[in-house]
Structure 1
Amino acid sequence: MNLDLLKAAFVGFIRARGIEHHFRRLGRDMFRSAALAREVPQTIAQSLVCASQTKPDALLRQLGTRPGGLTGQEADTIRAAVGPHAVGHEKRLTWRVHLWHCYKNPFNLLLTALAAVSYFTEDMKAAMVIGAMVLSSTLMRFIQESRSNGAADKLKEMVSNTATVSRCGAAQDSAEPAPRHADASPHSRGSRRIELPIEELVPGDIVQLSAGDMIPADLRLLSAKDLFVSQAAMTGESLPVEKFAEHRGSAAGNPLELDNVCFMGTNVISGAAAAVVLTTGNRTYFGALAERVTATDRTPTAFQCGVNQVSWLLIRFMLVMTPIVFFINGFTKGDWIEAFLFGLSIAVGLTPEMLPMIVTSTLAKGAVALSRKKVIVKRLDAIQNLGAMDMLCTDKTGTLTQDKIFLERHTGILGAPNDEVLQYAYLNSYYQSGLKNLLDTAVLEHAELQREMALASAYRKVDEIPFDFQRRRMSVVLSEREDHHELICKGAVEEIVSVCTHARNGGAIVPFTPQLLAEIGATTASLNAEGLRVVAVAAKDLPPTKETYGVADESGLVLIGYIAFLDPPKESTAPALAALRAHGVTVKILTGDNELVSAKICREVGLEIQGMLLGAQLEKMSDAELALALEKTTVFAKLSPAHKERIVRVLHDEGHVVGFMGDGINDAPALRAADVGISVDTAVDIAKEAADLILLEKSLMVLEAGVLEGRKTFANMLKYIKMTASSNFGNVLSVLVASAFLPFLPMLPLHLLVQNLLYDASQIPIPFDHVDKEFIEKPQRWNPGDIGRFMVFFGPVSSVFDISTFALMWYVFGANSPDRQTLFQSGWFIEGLLSQTLIVHMIRTRRIAFLQSRASWPLMGMTLVIMAIGIIVPMSPLASYFKLQALPPGYFAWLLAILIAYGALIQAMKNCYTRRYGWQ
């Protein structure tokens, strides 16, 4: 195994996403248990093995805890001793390291080399100007990134993952942090369950696990019930593994093979468990591996690759053109030292040194704007992906609907009202300890709550068979009297019926017959057609011969009836869908719900259903067949998590930029597979961890606003790149022509550097510029080829007027000899700077600049200031310092004519370019 590759991938995951995302993408071939074990100190591995072998009571004593958990004061004392639960690499860089990272890009290194050459050739003025460029670029990026990182940290604090922790002691314990949620269930027995941020966990905490939870630290299981954990994050194994309270295999030297230890970074697929925290922070298996790879650079994201492609396009152009300028000036002027300095100045002029700062500040500004629209950006690069998104896959519940489930009916097997069904459903929801979803909440909050609570208190919970997405049902086993146990099961109608042999019809229990099954199907279909979500309830009596039950016991059940829920559509859904459609985003519904319910909701919100595909049909299709079906299908129903992930993956392979919006554990695979994963602040931990964006309001209207902001952000970045590329190309062409025919340099290296510094400063407010409506109508993507074509198309236009300025200075003002070169250089300095600044306004829009589309006031004001400085410097006492001189008044009349003609020609070329290639 290539451990360097392992390290690089691992750090990319630590810094870019969350605890689990990047591991899975690297595949099982890279993350073998043995390789990971070699990367982790033996002391940590040995301590985990030792904890696995220690009896639970003895282990709790070693950790200074008890089955009911620590008190708040004990937890605070331990936290003060061991520190917060945070992986070291997730901490902010020191300001010194951050400043170095802002400086060490190829462009700044090139400028520094040029400054050093100027210093040693005693050209102190050039050295000072170059130094000012390096300093300003580095400091602007440092300040902007510091502000954006601070804002991002504050935003991320709003979406912290939590763990369910048992706390021992009185609720009024003053040392206890205020819980966000407390569970005073009848099973607590002297302790209470609270939700704590993961970073507040300490060794000795007793953690409760259920489906959808992230494993928050390295844990030793104390009890487990049908607990299946996905360890793909650590081992690359695609299938979940079952965990037990005791290690059932042979003696293991590799902690990853232990049955009763769970690792930070993995997640619970199904089941429930109680566990004790063994280690936190860098002392976890995960944290120790992170600590071994501190020096590895982050793996570039797809967004960064796009920026890099554009950067290298400009750098390659610089590497070709600079030597040509150097040799032409060397041969024609005979001064190779001056030609060398001039060539280096051209290199600086062609270097997009402001690109990192412009990209960072534009993304940061977009993140702040999105935060005002209730969208938290976990990863800045995701903003561009959001703007490029052309396909949105989303669940139905909570997105199209209100995400507020109401228990509408409780009926017998043939649709007649039946209170007994409600009683069984209530007992099931009340006593289940796994992931309580909206359906459970609706049952527990039903109007007859007090009567049902009195009923529940008469029962004792014996065991539980947790929910999973394969069975799509869950059961509890209760005992009202000690002479029998009662298994109560609820879940999807098809899954419940498949394990039933009888039904309760009226007061009699009757066996299933083909006719009865047909009537059951017709009854549930009619409820679905009304837009109701139907959950079946079944039960059976069992002898009290055992205390542990499993999936095999879910057989021979008696169907009791159904509970039907209503999730009304949101009023904002229809206009949001229309807005997304108008902006080129196709919406597809991916749901595990019934196809009849899904179709009714879609019709109510105005989503045209072009086709419908069920999970069972999808399984029979190849990827090629599915790709064809995806183009003409709107609704996908009865999907499993694997189905959702496959749909997203196939859409991506077909060239779409896919967004996926989900909030459940069943959505996590699809969130990881999408180009931009979108979740909500109320989602389960693993969904929030896999997402790139977090919505504080689960609404497509909020998302539509985010899409538009993403496109504005990308449009402003593209403006800078197009401006820089076309302007630089035109300058170099002008320099080549002038160098070949003039007996002196058309502009001194110092002039080029000052002009470049001023031009760059004029573009600083681009992130705050307005964006034309047509720029945000369709998804936008990086296209380096289009940028190259744009550069070649518009660059020569400026050269036409540069050459006109050369002729003006040579023939009209007599600047045609080496002793009058300062006048010539001053004339081109002003014209070059003003035309470059004008191009900022001309290229920022395909409309008529200043008339049909005006820049924002910050950009307008900055360009006016820079143009004024460019005119004043040659006319001021500073002119001699910069080796410039005042120009005759007649020059400015010619200059105005040149700039007007330049603007008119650029506008004509824009119209021609747009008709042929499109503007963006």
Structure 2
Amino acid sequence: MKLTLKEFFAGFLRTRHIARHFRRLALLESINDTTVSREVPPTLANTLVDAAHRDSGELLSSLGTHTDGLTDFEVDALRAQYGLNEVEHEQPLPWWTHLWHCYKNPFNLLLTLLAVISWLTEDLKAATVIFSMVVLSTLLRFWQESKSNQAADALKAMVSNTATVMRRDEPRIELPIKQLVPGDLIVLSAGDMIPADCRVLSAKDLFVSQAAMTGESMPVEKFARQADRDTRNPLELENILFMGTNVVSGTAVAVILTTGNSTYFGALAQRVGATDRAVTSFQLGVNKVSWLLIRFMFVMAPLVLFINGFTKGDWTEALLFALSIAVGLTPEMLPMIVTSTLAKGAVFLSRKKVIVKRLDAIQNFGAMDVLCTDKTGTLTQDKIFLARNVDVWGEDSDDVLEMAYLNSYYQTGLKNLLDVAVLEHVEIHRELKVGTAFRKVDEIPFDFNRRRMSVVVEGRGQPHQLICKGAVEEVLAVCTRVQHGDVEEALSDELLTRIRQVTAAFNAEGLRVVAVAARSMPEGRDTYSLADEQELTLIGYVAFLDPPKESTAPALKALAEHGVAVKVLTGDNELVTAKICREVGLAQQGLLLGNDVERMSDAELAVAVEKTNVFAKLTPSHKERIVRILKGNGHVVGFMGDGINDAPALRTADIGISVDSAVDIAKEAADIILLEKSLMVLEEGVLEGRRTFANMLKYIKMTASSNFGNVFSVLVASAFIPFLPMLPMHLLVQNLLYDISQIAIPFDNVDKEMLKKPQRWQPADVGRFMLFFGPISSIFDILTFALMWYVFDANTPDHQTLFQSGWFVVGLLTQTLIVHMIRTPKIPFLQSRAAMPLLVMTGIIMAVGIFLPMGPLANYFKLQALPSMYFVFLPMILLAYMALTQAVKGFYIRRFGWQ
């Protein structure tokens, strides 16, 4: 496949290896691209169509399974035949492929070309030095990414998605998705990821989101039978489920047809195997900086070639010198520095029990200036308590709790924390003799539009009873009567007002109120639908206490202190939300309800979201829209959630944050997963992101400014000096030593002041910084030229080695010291000191730089010992350089600020 030049140079940014286990979502996003063909491979299409039209018994027989599932022995045999249920794109790369990926960034390829040219022109020393730079860069990146991959493997096991499987040896068990085989029977409910290509055997109101596969924005309903026998397009089959899609509502039992690379998803993965997520703001920023340096190299290297060729007359020497300048301008350590700083951040966060699924999410953490968060399970505890069970007027009622218990016990869809709290009342189970006295007839599953669900049960000698529970307003919408004690009366406007007063009083206490209603149904039916949720009788309410986490208040305060605005986006009602916000110390600034969001245009909402920090009664699409609008307003947006209703917003946000107890689709959509409940790790993540960004920026600023200064000095020297100011090999050795000194940058300290505000890529600032600070080193280079020319008489071709040795030492020392000058806006060494690894590394390289011309290797490198008087002037030059840089830095900070 041919790449454009821009794609070629952008390629090094893609850190494929850390995220390899979590690519399903990235692939689904790339599949949404209309340029990707969704045509199902013929063999797979025939398999799926045949399975869709077969009788279920015949299909199970052909797959070697039956209605109770497979045995462990059969599973082992099938896994040996088909392998693990993993798509090739998600599997670990062989070490040699990983090594190739680490090598093939554009800077290494460019250096390799220069090394080959040096070798062809018989400059073997230059070729050796350049090749050493390539090997150093490649091996460092390979070693760093390998360590990070191992850490990711260890953490991945703690958060892998699972599926509910029916096996003949055990009724239902939870297994990692990769262990599934063709013929396995799986049980699906709302929030589950579809783990393989499957045929539905039984379903109840099953709606599946498969937009990435078919382009349909709305969920599609799936059934156990294929109605149209003439359908040949697998994507239109009504009883086939595809790997990578997810259940929105309802329940089902399905049999797995194909796994891994044999699935439709696997076929797409192979077709778009080189496709990553859309370019993030982080990648875009590094791309722009890289292109700035590359364009600078393409302009300056030819300029150096022509000036030296015309002034010196030796075009071969001029070419080698220009190639050395090109090497010096190539930020060959940039991929390694970026990877190392991000990987260091990932390792730091892993110690805090945080899984980083995408490396560049760490930098987005630091750039985040708005955090949108769901309320339930994120701001609040994941342990909800049933506080009250009351009738319609707020008086205690056991009848309401019994009805709620039957509903929660018999529903098989999306069981949430409210159901868990109800089912903890095991005494109800005993009193009602739930297992024997009642039989479940049917179920109408929950969905986020109705915000209610119903079960139909049959008691001994009793008619069918439809029991509905859900959000108060949504349940009231289908009620026509009210029960108080043994009396029923019609639901009038007066009663409705009184009911709302009762529920509002509970909400004001911070209680989540769920309404319970019922209706007797005529016998003789086994199937019920949404149409039966009408003319219900309101029985009462169950009210839940959802206390905030202890870490919420200090976490929100810490985020606010670091410039991150927090906005609450919840489906709960506004009174409960307001109470929680007060308890966690989040001052409410405006309130928008889902209906308000629905009525607003994008332009109106773009203004409203800036003034509002509490949004209640939202649907999943409302949350996604608010996040999208905030991004459109120029914010870097994080979203934290754990439910199926949070998945769209998690995908849309710059950084999606979830928890290990979240539903599958939420974990799949998130970039970062918290393994512990404390929200204080959010603050640590923000600070680590900012440290990571600051350290990357140090290298980029230093490289840009010192490269510009060196080339400017070379142009001046080439125009006025009758010999080369430095040999090509000198430039290459200097650059190699300088690169080695920068290996410790990812481990450097960052000033606290640099962590107070969100930080973003600003390539224009890098260009301006380069123009301000680059010429400073040139001033002292020119002073060094004058020193060598007039004081030490190194002014003829016969004495050029002395001249070149003098500039070699000054050039390397100033280039190495610059990192200490620009790593902080403060006075270096006094007000802000670098981390010990960076101090040691720069000290070693400076010592090596002085040793080379003074030691036994001088002749090999075509250098010579410098006179003792030189070392009297050297400290003066370095101190003057640091003083002038500090003065310019002060002016720059006052004029432009410091990032």
TM-score tier, shorter chain, comes to: over 0.9
Shift of 1:296: 6.3
Secondary structure of the 2:393 match is coil
Aligned position for 1:267:
246
Deviates more, 1:664-673 or 1:476-485: 476-485
* 1:574-608 Cα distance to aligned partner (Å, 9 max, x none): 11111100111000000000100000110111101
Aligned-pair identity (%): 70
> How much has 1:399 moved relative to structure 2?
2.3
Unaligned runs of 5+ in 1: 172-191
Task: Decide whether aligned partners of structure 1 residues 379 and 296 sit closer, same or farther in structure 2, where only a CA change above 3 A counts.
Answer: closer
TM-superposed deviation, 1:396 = 1.0
Give the whole-Å Cα distance in 2 for the aligned partners of 1:120 and 1:350.
22
Structure 2 residue 2 is the aligned partner of structure 1 residue 23 = no
Structure-1 residue corresponding to 2:208: 229
Letter in 1 for 2:179: E
Classify the secondary structure of the residue corresponding to 2:387.
Answer: strand
Distance in 1 (CA, whole Å) between partners of 2:133 and 2:293 is 19
In structure 1, the residue matched to 2:104 is 104
SS of the aligned residue for 2:448 comes to coil
Equivalent residue, structure 1, for 2:38: 36
Deviation at 1:290, TM superposition (A): 2.1
Distance in 2 between the 1:298 and 1:501 partners? Answer: 51
Segment drifting more, 305-314 vs 475-484: 475-484
Aligned residue for 1:228, secondary structure, equals: strand
2:864 aligned with 1:885, yes or no? Answer: yes
2:176 is the counterpart of 1:197:
yes
Contact 1:247 1:260 in 2 (8 A): yes
Task: Provide the rounded CA distance (Å) in 2 between the counterparts of 1:395 and 1:467.
Answer: 19
Tell me the residue number matched to 1:145.
Answer: 145
Please name the residue that 1:772 is paired with. 751
1 CA distance for matches of 2:376 and 2:366?
24
Structure 1 match to 2:628: 649
Q: What is the Cα deviation at residue 525 of structure 1? A: 0.4
Contact 2:161–2:664 (Cα < 8 Å) also in 1: yes
Contact map agreement 1:847 1:853 (CA 8 A) in 2: yes
Matched residue, 2:166: 166
Choose from 755, 758, 773 the match for 2:734. Answer: 755
- Partner SS for 1:763: helix
One-letter identity of the residue aligned with 2:303:
I
**SS where residue 38 of structure 2 aligns?**
helix
Q: Distance in 2 between matches of 1:25 and 1:449?
A: 50
Q: Tell me by how many angstroms 1:716 deviates.
A: 0.6
Taking the aligned partners of 1:471 and 1:109, their CA distance within structure 2 comes to 58
8 Å CA contact 1:393–1:661 kept in 2: the answer is yes
**Equivalent position to 2:795, from 805, 810, 816:** 816
Conservation of the 8 A alpha-carbon contact between 1:659 and 1:677? yes
2-structure distance, mates of 1:46, 1:398: 44
Shift in CA distance, 137/84, structure 1 to aligned 2, threshold 3 Å: same
Give the Å deviation of 1:516: 1.2
Q: Distance in 1 between matches of 2:115 and 2:334?
A: 20
* Residue 307 (structure 1) shift: 1.2
Question: Matches of residues 457-472 of structure 1 in structure 2 within 5 Å?
Answer: 457-472=436-451
Quote the offset at 1:444 in angstroms: 0.7
Per the alignment, in what secondary structure is the counterpart of residue 399 of structure 1?
A: helix
Aligned to 1:905: 884
Q: CA 1:617/1:435 → structure 2, altered by over 3 Å: closer, same or farther?
A: same
Displacement of 1:24 in angstroms is: 5.0
Whole-angstrom CA distance in 1 between matches of 2:184 and 2:751? 55
Judged with a 3 Å threshold, the aligned counterparts in structure 2 of structure 1 residues 28 and 787 are, in CA distance, closer, same or farther, namely closer
Answer yes or no: is 1:394 the counterpart of 2:373.
yes
Residues 1:29 and 1:891: Cα distance change in structure 2 (over 3 Å): closer
Cα offset, 1:72, TM superposition = 2.3
Give the SS at the match of 1:765: helix
**Deviation by residue 1:536-569 (Cα, 9 ceiling, x = unmatched):** 0111111211101111111111111000000112
Distance, in Å, in 2 between the alignment partners of 1:448 and 1:632 is: 49
Aligned to 2:329, which of 350, 372, 395? Answer: 350
Tell me, yes or no, if structure 1 residue 51 matches structure 2 residue 51: yes
Q: Distance in 2 between matches of 1:504 and 1:326?
A: 93
Per-residue CA shift, 1:640-686, capped at 9, x if unaligned? 00100000000011111111101111001111111111111111111
Q: Are the aligned partners of 2:27 and 2:277 in contact in 1 as well (CA < 8 Å)?
A: no
Pair 1:332 & 2:332 matched: no
Q: 1:508, CA displacement in angstroms?
A: 1.0
* 2:32–2:213 Cα contact (<8 Å) kept: no
Asked whether the equivalents of residues 194 and 244 of structure 2 are also in contact (C-alpha less than 8 Å), the reply is yes
Distance 1:866 1:24, change over 3 A: closer
Pick from 700, 704, 709: which aligns with 2:679?
A: 700
Report matched runs for 1:81-480 at 5 Å.
81-169=81-169, 171=170, 192-294=171-273, 300-446=279-425, 448=427, 451-452=430-431, 454-480=433-459
* 1:804 aligned to which of 763, 772, 783: 783
Shift of 1:26: 6.3
Contact residue 23 and residue 236 of structure 1 kept, 8 A: no
One of 645, 649, 670 as aligned partner of 1:691? 670
How many residue pairs get aligned? The number is: 889
Structure 2: distance between partners of 1:295 and 1:586: 36
- Please say if 1:76 is aligned against 2:55: no
C-alpha distance in structure 2 between counterparts of 1:764 and 1:226, whole Å: 58
Are 1:543 and 2:522 an aligned pair? yes
Moved more, 820-829 or 115-124: 115-124
Contact 1:21/1:690 (<8 A) preserved: no
Amino acid at match of 1:287: G
Contact 1:482-1:544 at 8 Å conserved across structures: no
More deviation, 131-140/433-442: 131-140
- Does the 8 Å CA contact 1:12/1:22 hold for their aligned counterparts? no
Residue 494 to residue 12, structure 1, CA distance change in 2 (3 Å):
farther
Tell me, yes or no, if structure 1 residue 721 matches structure 2 residue 723.
no
Alpha-carbon distance between aligned partners in 1 of 2:23 and 2:856, rounded to the nearest angstrom = 58
Contact 2:23 2:90 survives alignment (8 Å): no
C-alpha displacement of 1:453: 6.5
Q: Does 1:856 align with 2:835?
A: yes
Shift in Å at residue 416 of structure 1?
0.3
Q: Return the alpha-carbon distance in structure 2 between the equivalents of residues 883 and 917 of structure 1.
A: 44
Task: Tell me the CA shift for residue 291 of structure 1.
Answer: 2.8
Partners of 2:216 and 2:275 in 1: CA distance: 25
Aligned pairs for 1:506-517 (under 5 A) are 506-517=485-496
SS at match of 2:232: coil
Give the distance between the partners of 2:402 and 2:462, measured in 1 at CA: 21
Shift of 1:15: 5.7
Maintained 8 Å contact 2:26/2:277: no
- Assess, with a 3 A threshold, how the Cα gap between structure 1 residues 778 and 297 changes in structure 2: closer, same or farther: closer
SS in 2 for 1:393: strand
1:451 CA drift (Å): 3.1
Amino acid at match of 1:19: R
Quick one: distance in 1 between partners of 2:611 and 2:426? 44
SS class of match (1:916): helix
Partner of 1:744: 723
Q: CA separation of 1:452/1:659 partners in 2, compared to 1, >3 Å: closer, same or farther?
A: farther
TM superposition shift of 1:87: 0.6
In 1, are the aligned partners of 2:206 and 2:221 still within 8 Å (CA)? yes
Structure 2 counterpart of 1:36, which letter? R
In the other structure, the counterpart of 2:7 is none
Question: CA, structure 1 residues 635+294, in 2 after alignment: closer, same or farther (shift >3 Å)?
Answer: closer
Specify the alignment match of 1:873 in structure 2. 852
User: Which residue in the other structure is 2:646 paired with?
Assistant: 667
- Amino acid of the structure 2 residue aligned with 1:834: L
Does structure 2 conserve the Cα–Cα contact (< 8 Å) formed by 1:577 and 1:607?
Answer: yes
Provide the rounded CA distance (Å) in 1 between the counterparts of 2:49 and 2:887: 75
Ranges in structure 2 where 5+ consecutive residues have no aligned partner: 5-9
Aligned equivalents of 2:315, 2:16: Cα separation in 1: 46
The AA in structure 2 aligned to 1:367 is A
Q: TM-score, normalised by structure 1?
A: 0.94
Deviation sequence 1:517-545 (CA, Å, 0-9, x none): 11111000000000000000111111211
Instruction: Describe the shift of the 1:550–1:162 C-alpha distance in structure 2 as closer, same or farther (beyond 3 A).
Output: same
Match of 1:272, SS?
A: strand
Q: CA deviation at 1:481?
A: 2.1
Deviation for aligned residue 1:397: 1.4
